[in-house]
Chains A and B, each alone.
Chain A
Amino acid sequence: MAKPKTKLENKPQTVVAPAPKWNVVVLNDPINYQGYVVIAFVSVLRITSPEAKKLMRTIHQNGRTTVWTGERERAEMLALELQQWHLNALLEKDA
């Protein structure tokens, strides 16, 4: 049985670059208690208390950490909610 002939076409392909990701970064502050930060993270980021504690400790040790990475609109919403909790939250474009 003969193989069907395949014709290769050189069609130009459009490559869509993925949308850049954004980081929600929280900085250390001297006013809010560690327990307060844990409650804020559980409430805003919808994570468990142990996960929130891990993030809080990283901020305490390093001065800052990324608490969420993803698409811009969601990142903006989370940063705003964290600021409603009076945390030093800011947005950074992911490298």
Chain B
Amino acid sequence: MPELRLSMTAEARTVLTDLLKLIAPAAARVSVNRAQIPDNDLEIAGFWTENLSAHAAEEARLLAHAFIQAKGDPAVIILRDEAQACAFLRALSAVRFALRDLVFADISDDQLEDPSDLDDDESLPTEKRHALACYACFGQLQQSLIRQLDPEAFN
């Protein structure tokens, strides 16, 4: 499979990179906390925790590095192969889960599925609306990547 590309405006890249600096370390922790780790075998539980932590930390690094490397306008992220693209997809998923758990845990799943109504909700603090916009952007990047990996995946 040839390299995969994701492009975004330079402004979006700056905003998302700034948010990633804040949320990426927490994303790895949230991933491990959410995991359904078997608790009846201490050895297995330890192995899973260690494995998931290392995995999540590595993906957070990949994500941060990709955004820092994306220069120009539009800023382009290049993923060299399918394995890297899948790791990038997983990292974006971790960040979206972290935002969900840490920033807008009080927003319902239904609202989050179509957050356009929330954009104009002035009762929400600015930071939360900002995070929601970033959450949607990360989702759009994921969808773009999924379509490149499997054009039929959404059909």
Majority DSSP secondary structure for residues of B touching A: helix
Are A49 and B51 closer than 8 Å at their CB atoms? no
Within 8 A of A (CB), among B97-116: 97, 100, 109, 112-113
Are B143 and A80 closer than 8 Å at their CB atoms? no
Question: Within 8 Å of chain B (Cβ to Cβ): is A85?
Answer: yes
Are A36 and B52 closer than 8 Å at their CB atoms? no
Alpha-carbon gap, A91 to B89, bound state (A)? 24
Q: Give the chain A neighbours of B93 by CB distance below 8 A.
A: 31-32, 36, 85-86
Alpha-carbon gap, A33 to B135, bound state (A)? 13
Are A31 and B100 closer than 8 Å at their CB atoms? yes
Question: Within 8 Å of chain A (Cβ to Cβ): is B42?
Answer: no
Alpha-carbon gap, A83 to B35, bound state (A)? 6
The answer to whether A33 and B150 touch (CB under 8 A), given A76-B44, A86-B94, is: no
- Which of A34, A38, A84, A90 is in CB contact (< 8 Å) with B36? A90
Alpha-carbon gap, A32 to B91, bound state (A)? 12
The answer to whether A84 and B90 touch (CB under 8 A), given A30-B112, A33-B139, A35-B143, is: yes
Are B97 and A38 closer than 8 Å at their CB atoms? no
Chain A residues in the interface with B (C-beta under 8 A) = 30-36, 38-39, 42-43, 49, 53, 76, 79-80, 83-86, 88-91
* CB-CB nearest 6 A-B residue pairs: A35-B153, A30-B109, A35-B146, A90-B36, A86-B93, A35-B154
**Can you offer 29 A-B residue contacts whose CB atoms are under 8 A?**
A31-B100, A32-B93, A33-B143, A33-B146, A34-B154, A35-B146, A35-B150, A35-B153, A36-B93, A36-B142, A36-B146, A36-B153, A38-B153, A39-B149, A39-B153, A42-B150, A76-B44, A79-B36, A80-B52, A83-B35, A83-B48, A83-B52, A84-B51, A84-B52, A86-B90, A86-B93, A86-B94, A86-B97, A91-B36
